[in-house]
A = this chain, B = another copy of it.
Amino acid sequence: MIEFEDIKAAHQRIKAHINHTPVVSSSLLNQWLGHEVYFKLELLQKVGAFKARGGCNAVQLLKERHPDIKRVVANSSGNHAQAVAWSAAKLGIPATIYMPTFASKVKAQATRAYGAEVVQLGTRQAVDQAVAEAAEQPGVYWIPPFNDEAVIAGQGTACLEALDQMVQPVDAVMAPCGGGGLISGTLVATRKLLPQALVMAAEPLAGDDAMRSYQSGVIQKLDSAPDTLADGAMTLSVGEKTFEHIRQLDDFFAVEEAPMIYWSQWLAHLLKLHVEPTSAMVMNAVCQWLRQQQQPRKVLVILTGGNIDAATMRTIWQHDHLQQIPDLGSSLC
Q: Is A192 interfacial (CB 8 A cutoff)?
A: no
A272 touches B43 (CB 8 A): yes
The distance in angstroms between the C-alpha atoms of A105 and B322, with both chains bound, is 9
The distance in angstroms between the C-alpha atoms of A273 and B265, with both chains bound, is 13
Copies in the complex: 2
Q: Is A280 interfacial (CB 8 A cutoff)?
A: no
Which residues of chain A from 295 to 333 have a CB within 8 Å of any chain B CB?
Answer: 306-311, 313-314, 316-323, 325
Which residues of chain A from 248 to 303 have a CB within 8 Å of any chain B CB?
Answer: 265, 268-269, 271-274
Instruction: Kindly provide the distance from the CB of A103 to the nearest chain B CB, expressed in whole angstroms.
Output: 13
B105 touches A323 (CB 8 A): yes
Instruction: Kindly provide the distance from the CB of A120 to the nearest chain B CB, expressed in whole angstroms.
Output: 15
Instruction: Of the listed stretches A7-15, A56-64, A106-114, A173-181, name the one at the interface; the rest are far from the partner chain.
Output: A106-114
Residues of B within 8 Å of A110, CB to CB, are 28
Residues of B within 8 Å of A318, CB to CB, are 314
A306 touches B265 (CB 8 A): no
Q: Is A31 interfacial (CB 8 A cutoff)?
A: yes
B106 touches A272 (CB 8 A): no
At the interface, is chain A mostly helix, strand, loop or mixed? helix
Residues of B within 8 Å of A309, CB to CB, are 320, 322
Q: Is A44 interfacial (CB 8 A cutoff)?
A: yes
Residues of B within 8 Å of A232, CB to CB, are none
Instruction: Kindly provide the distance from the CB of A266 to the nearest chain B CB, expressed in whole angstroms.
Output: 10
The distance in angstroms between the C-alpha atoms of A273 and B303, with both chains bound, is 13
A48 touches B313 (CB 8 A): no
Residues of B within 8 Å of A313, CB to CB, are 265, 268, 313, 316-317
Known: A44-B272, A106-B322, A320-B311. A31 touches B306 (CB 8 A): no
Q: List the B residue with the shortest CB-CB distance to A106.
A: B322
The distance in angstroms between the C-alpha atoms of A271 and B275, with both chains bound, is 11
A interface, CB within 8 angstroms of B:
28, 31, 43-44, 48, 105-106, 109-110, 113, 265, 268-269, 271-274, 306-311, 313-314, 316-323, 325
| 5 additional A-B residue pairs with CB within 8 Å, beyond A106-B323, A265-B313, A314-B318 | A31-B113, A310-B322, A311-B320, A314-B317, A317-B317
17 A-B pairs whose Cβ atoms sit less than 8 Å apart in the complex:
A28-B110, A43-B272, A44-B272, A105-B323, A106-B269, A265-B310, A268-B274, A268-B308, A268-B313, A269-B308, A272-B274, A274-B274, A309-B320, A310-B317, A311-B320, A313-B316, A313-B317
